[in-house]
Structure 1
Amino acid sequence: MGIAASDLNQHVIRPTLLYLGSQSVAAEALLLGVAACQSSLGAELDNYSGHGLYRISALHHQHLWNDHLAASPDLASRVRGLASQHAFLGAPHFELTVNLRYATAIAWLLIEHRCKVLPAADDLAAQALVWQQVFAPCRQPSEFVSAWQRCILKLASAA
């Protein structure tokens, strides 16, 4: 069983986006959908395809730091501020599994780096295309919609 979507949004996604100066309902919805599709909202945090809530690969994580954050020292400092002081230096990719705010910041920056215009919060088909482009190019957009319905819509209607 993963994290309740409302709790994940309220306690992790929204505060992280606010911290980064990127909060919007569309960004929150997209990150919830990515977490639902990648890990069933945290029910499965690690496997061969990536680390943590958003299943970010070590390669994508490293490229984001080397190609994007290295060129933006202020942003890099803010993101680094979310990571554990000592653990990050020894095992930076492990931070994606154990630190939800750090993982959310990295997931958001991967999206922001590749997607210039966010789809509307209620446009699951368009969100699915962003998810596919950024996180899962070999998977089908219908998987995103199914995960959203299974993990977010179903849980929200049961509450």
Structure 2
Amino acid sequence: MGIAASELCQHVIRPTLIYLGRHNPSAELFLVAVAASQSALGDELDSQRGHGLYSITGTLHWRLWDDYLAKDPDLASLVRGLASQHAFLTGPDLELTVNLRYSTAIAWLMVEASQIPLPADHDLLGMARIWRQIFQPHGHLKDFTTAWQTSVSPLYQVASAIL
């Protein structure tokens, strides 16, 4: 059983983005859609595709650390602060599976490191292309758009009504 999209957004994604100083509503919605398309919001946390909500491979995880976070010690320290003190040292990829805030930070920083700006919220196909480029190179755009429509669209409608 996965996590409710609204609770994932409210209790994991939003606080993590705020902690990193990178909060924006488009990033929240995009990350919920990535989690929905990659792991069905947590129904499948460890698969051949990768680890955790965002199905991040060990290779991508370490590439982010080596090529991006190593160049920004302050940001690296913030991210490391989200990881378990001892478990990270013995099984860093396991943190992607068991630590939702850590995996969310890594997922967002993968987007940031790609230097691809998120398109407007209504540009679903643009977001699907970014998802495929960063998270699922062999994925089908329809997988992302279907996940968006079932998991994110209701959140987006609520957020729009509040604004």
TM-score normalised by structure 2 residue count? 0.91
In structure 1, stretches of 5+ residues that fail to align are none
Task: Output aligned runs, 1:45-84, within 5 Å.
Answer: 45-84=45-84
Contact 1:40 1:151 (C-alpha < 8 Å) held by counterparts = no
In structure 2, stretches of 5+ residues that fail to align are 158-163
C-alpha distance in 1 between matches for 2:41 and 2:67 = 28
Deviation at 1:155, TM superposition (A): 8.6
Pick closer, same or farther for the CA change 1:7–1:146 going to 2, 3 Å: same
SS at match of 1:34: helix
Percent identity for Structure 1 against Structure 2: 57
Task: Output aligned runs, 1:9-88, within 5 Å.
Answer: 9-88=9-88
Counterpart of 1:33, as a letter, is A
C-alpha distance in 2 between matches for 1:55 and 1:148 = 17
Q: What whole-Å deviation, never above 9, does each CA across 1:16-67 have from its counterpart, x for those lacking one?
A: 0001111001100110110000000111100111000000000000100011
C-alpha distance in 2 between matches for 1:22 and 1:156 = 19
C-alpha distance in 2 between matches for 1:48 and 1:9 = 25
C-alpha distance in 2 between matches for 1:16 and 1:105 = 6
TM-score normalised by structure 1 residue count? 0.94
Q: What whole-Å deviation, never above 9, does each CA across 1:90-137 have from its counterpart, x for those lacking one?
A: 000000000000000000000111133111223211110110010011
The CA RMSD over aligned residues, in Å, is 1.6
Contact 1:58 1:93 (C-alpha < 8 Å) held by counterparts = yes
Matched pairs, number: 157
C-alpha distance in 2 between matches for 1:10 and 1:155 = 11
Pick closer, same or farther for the CA change 1:155–1:43 going to 2, 3 Å: farther
